[in-house]
Amino acid sequence: MQLLFCSIFTPATAEQRQQNFIDYWQFSQQHGGELLEADKDLAKKREKLQYFQQHPVRLRKPLANPDAFYRNYVKMIDKPEDLDRMTLMLTSIYKFARHEWVGIKGAWDAVPDLASATTVEDKISRVHLAEEFCHWRLFDEMLKTCGLDHVEWVPLPPWQEWFYRQFPKLPGVIMDGPAFVTELMGVTYYFHLNQLFDDVLADEPEVCQRLKALLAEITIDEIAHVGQRRNFLGDTNTKVSKWLVKPFYRLFFADIPEVALLFDVEQMIRDGEAFDYSVVPETMLAKSWLPSYCKA
Ligand SMILES: [Fe+2]
Ligand SMILES: [Fe+2]
């Protein structure tokens, strides 16, 4: 049976959103398993990562020029047009994940731990951050799969680190829209990255499948995060968020010069603005979560 969905920007009542927070919290607890606060980790996700680490897949033909990656992964030094697509793809993955890593490091200290969380929204936010730390580990595993064992996770410049620390302390009415658009941008990027794997890794089918499996672990969570962060938005903030998609995507991706060479940013913007859950494969949707008001 064909499932029908409404736009992610569909309006919802306060009662619907409250019920959806409760529903998401139930999903979230069984999805990730026990929260391991001290390790910023989740029991079930740790097991999955360990499976990948214990069953490693590596490139048939090692990277021709790993130095090109190491020279450009923190900051682009060479002309990006002079780099091969594999290197550009890997440096873009690092740069995307690095922003995510800095953002969650800042937020982890700003939100209450699970034992101190009094509202369902606070509990959700704590587990959400732990999931994001798991994504960072999965991205690191992607780079290791491509033979990049010496990747360092380098802080951003001080003003950007400061910004990411202040962001979660802003009042919800200001912070909730951008936080939602950031999740949506993640899902858009992951869908486009998944397609790019087929193209760049055509001669490396095992690594292609492994990177897709690692990315699917991340994407399933992010699909749920999109709905969960959407659930924080009232009608005005939902409208503002749709308007924010274009400037946000453009601004964020302009900071990663590889992206314009690998992806169609304008198509990514259109995908973000048009997002509904019909674009999500059913196998992923079955493991993920969406708000009730996004089902037709
Ligand atoms: Fe994430
Ligand atoms: Fe997320």
Whole-number Å distance, alpha carbon 187 to ligand 2 midpoint, is: 8
Q: What is the average per-residue pLDDT within 150-173?
A: 87
pLDDT at site 165: 84
Residue 234 lies in a domain: yes
Whole-number Å distance, alpha carbon 1 to ligand 1 midpoint, is: 30
Whole-number Å distance, alpha carbon 37 to ligand 2 midpoint, is: 18
Residue 82 lies in a domain: yes
Residue 4 lies in a domain: no
pLDDT at site 159: 87
pLDDT category of residue 1 using cuts at 50, 70 and 90: low
Whole-number Å distance, alpha carbon 211 to ligand 2 midpoint, is: 18
Integer angstrom CA distances of residue 189 from 52, 95, 181, 286 = 22, 12, 12, 21
Of 60, 93, 85, 67, give the one whose Cα is nearest residue 214: 93
**102-142 pLDDT per residue, tens:** 989 888 988 889 999 999 999 999 999 999 999 999 999 99
Residue 258 lies in a domain: yes
In this structure, what DSSP letter does residue 231 have? T
- Domain of 30? 14-294
pLDDT category of residue 170 using cuts at 50, 70 and 90: confident
pLDDT at site 110: 83
Whole-number Å distance, alpha carbon 178 to ligand 1 midpoint, is: 15
Residue 2 lies in a domain: no
User: What is the pTM assigned to this prediction?
Assistant: 0.95
Q: Are 224 and 158 in contact (CB under 8 A)?
A: no
pLDDT at site 160: 84
Q: Structural domain tally of the chain? A: 1
Residue 139 lies in a domain: yes
Whole-number Å distance, alpha carbon 170 to ligand 1 midpoint, is: 20
Q: What is the average per-residue pLDDT within 26-46?
A: 97
Residue 1 lies in a domain: no
**256-291 pLDDT per residue, tens:** 999 999 999 999 999 999 999 999 999 999 999 999
With 70 as the cut, is the pLDDT of residue 2 above it?
Answer: no
Of 71, 60, 65, 69, give the one whose Cα is nearest residue 92: 69
pLDDT category of residue 74 using cuts at 50, 70 and 90: very high
Whole-number Å distance, alpha carbon 34 to ligand 1 midpoint, is: 18
Of 56, 138, 55, 157, give the one whose Cα is nearest residue 99: 157
Sign of the C-alpha dihedral computed for residues 251, 228, 116 and 45 taken in this order: negative
**205-264 pLDDT per residue, tens:** 999 999 999 999 999 999 999 999 999 999 999 999 999 999 999 999 999 999 999 999
Q: Which ligand is nearest to the CA of 217?
A: 1
Q: Which ligand is nearest to the CA of 135?
A: 1
Whole-number Å distance, alpha carbon 183 to ligand 1 midpoint, is: 7
Residue 6 lies in a domain: no
With 80 as the cut, is the pLDDT of residue 63 above it?
Answer: yes
pLDDT at site 164: 81
Whole-number Å distance, alpha carbon 225 to ligand 2 midpoint, is: 5
